Structure 1
Amino acid sequence: ASYGNLNEIPTTGASLETGRQDGQNISGITASETLAENDLQRVNLYKSKIKSVSKGTGVDAAIIAAIMSRESRAGNALDSHNWGDHGNAFGLMQIDKRWHSPRGAWNSEEHILQATEILCSMYSSIRQKFPSWSASQVMKGAIAAYNMGPGNIHSFDSIDSCTTGKDYSNDVVARAKFYKRYGF
C-alpha cells in the first residue's frame, strides 16, 4: 500500500493516562484494545462511511476507525453540539477549527473524508521531513502529526513525545490493529 502496512508499524499502545479513560488502571496494547473494544459498537455505525473513504484515499480503514475512537470515542466524548476540546474541535474525527474549516455534518462521510485528507497531508509533510523512513514509519509519523502537527516530530524514537498523553500514534496504531480484526 502506498501508505505503508499497518502490520509493520511498531506500537507500545496507550499510556496509563489514556488507559484510565474508562475507569481501569491499564496501559499498553491491552489498554488500547480495551478502549477500542468499548468503542466498537459506535465505530461500527460508521463502518460503510469509513470503508468508502478508505477506498477513495488509500488509507487503511482500520486507521481511520482508530483515529475516530481515540479522538471522540466514536462520538461518545462530544458535547451536545458535537464538539470537543473546549469547543475547538469538531465531530467524530475532531477537526480543529483553528487550523481547518470543518466540512459536512459531525458524523458525515464528508467529515471523515476531510479528516483523512488532513492525515494524508500530514503523511506528505512527514515523508518530506524524513525521506529515509519507510512508508509504515511515515504513516506512524502522520498519525502523530494529525494530533500535534509535523513540526513537533523530531525522530522516530520520540514520535509521541509531544502528543496528547505522549502516546497518540502508539495508541492509534494499537487500536487500528484491533479494528483490523473486526473487518476494518
Structure 2
Amino acid sequence: MEHFYEASRAYNVPVSLLLAIASRESNMGLALDGNWTGDNGNGIGIMQIDRRYHSGFTSNHANKDHRANVLYGSKFLADLIAKFGGQLTPAVAAYNAGYAKVQNTVSAGIDPNLVTTGQNYAFDVLRRKEIVESILGITKASAASMVILPLLITGFISYQIFNTQ
C-alpha cells in the first residue's frame, strides 16, 4: 500500500484510482504469473505496464519491482489526466486503450469505453474507485485534504524559511 500512497502524493492521482486500476489490471497481482506478467507476457507488474508501448520502462525495471511499477503507472495516468483536461473517464480509458485511440473516439463524440477491453474499462475502474473509497473511508472532503495538506505544509515551510531573519 505504501507505494500507492507515495505515487498518489508524487503525481497527485487519487490513491483510490490507482488501487482501482491495479485491481482491474492484475487483481492486485493475484492474476499474474510467477514472473509478474499478464496479457500473454506483455503486461508487466501490478499496474500491467505494456512492454510493447513502454519498452523504456519495462526493459530497465524488474517485473517484481512493485514500487517502480506503481510509480510509473501513476505518472502515465497523471499525464493522461492532464491531456484530457482532468477528465477521468477518457484518461482511464486511455490507460487501457492508448491516448490516440481514445482521443479519436472522444473527438467523434463516442463513449471512450467502447475502444477498451470489455468495452467497459473506464466505467469498471471508476466503479472500483468508489468501492475502494468506501472501504478506506475516503470522502470527498478527506480526498481533498489529502491533496491540500502537503501543499499547505510546503507553503508554511516556505513562508517560515523566507520570513525568518
Q: Normalised by the size of structure 2, how large is the TM-score? A: 0.72
Task: Give the equivalent residue in structure 2 for 1:158.
Answer: 111
Task: Give 1:96 deviation, angstroms.
Answer: 0.4
Task: Give the equivalent residue in structure 2 for 1:182.
Answer: 135
Distance 1:125 1:108 in 2: 26
1:65-105 CA distance string (max 9 Å, x none): 00000000011110111100001110000000111122355
Task: Give the equivalent residue in structure 2 for 1:40.
Answer: none
Task: Give the equivalent residue in structure 1 for 2:82.
Answer: 124
Distance 2:65 2:124 in 1: 22
Distance 1:159 1:120 in 2: 18
Secondary structure at the counterpart of residue 113 of structure 2? coil
Letter in 2 for 1:170: F
Distance 1:63 1:123 in 2: 12
Secondary structure at the counterpart of residue 52 of structure 2? coil
1:107-161 CA distance string (max 9 Å, x none): 522210000111122223333xxxxxxx3xx222110000011222222651201
1:149 maps to 2:95: no
Secondary structure at the counterpart of residue 64 of structure 1? helix
Secondary structure at the counterpart of residue 29 of structure 2? coil
Higher helix share: 2
Give the alignment partner of residue 51 of structure 2, picking from 97, 100, 105. Answer: 97
Query: Is 1:147–1:164's contact at 8 Å kept on the other side of the alignment?
Result: yes
Moved over 3 A (4+): none
1:113 maps to 2:62: no
Higher RCO (CA 8 Å, separation ≥ 6 residues): 1
Q: Normalised by the size of structure 1, how large is the TM-score? A: 0.65
- Percent identity reads 29
What is the root-mean-square deviation in Å for CA atoms of aligned residues?
Answer: 1.6
Letter in 1 for 2:88: M
Number of equivalent positions? 129
Gap runs ≥5 in structure 1:
1-46, 128-134
Q: State the structure with more CA Rg.
A: 2
